[in-house]
Amino acid sequence: MNATVIEAKGLTKRYGTAQAVSGVSFNVAAGEIFGLLGPNGAGKTTTILMLLGLSDISEGEARVFGHDPMRKPLAVKRLVGYLPDSVGFYDHLTAADNLHYTARLMGLDAGERGRRIDAALERVGLRNVAKKKVATFSRGMRQRLGLAEIVMKDARVAILDEPTNGLDPQASVELLELIRSLKASGVSILLSSHLLDRVQSVCDRVALFNAGRIALMGTVEELGRQVLGGGYVVEVEAVGGDAIVERLSALAGVRNVEEPGPGRFRMACDRDLRAEAAAAVVAAGGRLAQLSLDHPSLETIYTRYFQNAQEEVRHAA
């Protein structure tokens, strides 16, 4: 399962003198969900369009299943399903007719079309509105119809551009659920988003974009270690007990302990010290109310990374 499906090497896109994307390299392995994250205008969509052969590559190389999207765009587009940012459909056609049109463009024959469209609409939960015009669809339903198109295409890779953009929390949870189920059926997924915490939950690996470059890449934990200096943060809530701070600080492997509120402690440590912390609280005569290991959120990593980057710039100046 470790074959590479998408390979980008030094991808660069220039518009005149401006560089929208400069030297972006990453690999997407078979069966993983890879997230391109970053603020709007950081070059995520441009990168995606270059991978699909919909935009010329100024410099660098891209391979999708070994095909060059510049030379063999049809081969690439046959294997890849694409859900554009705020996808559009023909409003005057029904959901099923919209899919019929794209299915004909894919070259599927009539029997195959009907079967696949029914199955795809069933899978995304739009079967009962298949005969309704898309004009009546909500944003979330359109996004799901877009996913149905990818399911129908039987794509080996799905490229989703801002799939949860503009959706209400309920709809975006449903959509992320669908994305997970796509992955479960063996589809590799490349998705882009500026909504970090939503996407964190589905991505196996992420690349953080900033101003056309990849600033950081790896799993969320790796990025956390890299940016937040590694280590674990254990949060302790205790009732009663004396000198808990001192006792916690005395544990082997603890770097420092803060007390953000009465009875609440945050300890930064080299390893998972939850068991030791519990023992220490109890030994101090306190009652343990809560004990948790803090997972670094992408949001924190991201903000911290750019704070650091800015400070470096300031120091350099």
Q: Which residues of this protein are in contact with another protein, per CB under 8 A?
A: 45-46, 49, 52, 54-55, 70-75, 77-78, 80-92, 101-102, 104-107, 146, 149
Q: How far is the CB of 45 from another protein (least distance, A)?
A: 6
Nearer to another protein, 179 or 238 (CB): 179
Q: Provide the greatest CA pair distance for the chain.
A: 77
Minimum gap (Å) between residue 20 Cβ and another protein: 10
Nearer to another protein, 96 or 227 (CB): 96
Write phi, then psi, for 63 (nearest 5 degrees): -135, 130
Q: Which is nearer to another protein, 160 or 280 (CB)?
A: 160
CB of 34 to another protein, least distance (A): 18
Residue 141 structure tokens: 């339903």
Cβ at position 226, least distance to another protein in Å: 32
Instruction: Report CA Rg, the chain.
Output: 24
Spatial distance between the Cα atoms of 270 and 84, rounded to a whole number of angstroms: 43
CA 181/CA 192 separation, integer angstroms: 18
CB of 82 to another protein, least distance (A): 4
CA distance 74 to 86: 24
292 Cβ neighbours under 8 A, 6+ residues apart: 234, 235, 274
Q: Smallest distance from the beta carbon of 219 to another protein, in angstroms? A: 29
Q: Which is nearer to another protein, 62 or 234 (CB)?
A: 62
Of the pair 179, 298, the CB lying nearest another protein is at 179
d(CA 194, CA 140): 18
DSSP 67: B
Helices 139-153 and 95-106: angle between axes, nearest 10 degrees: 30
Nearer to another protein, 77 or 247 (CB): 77
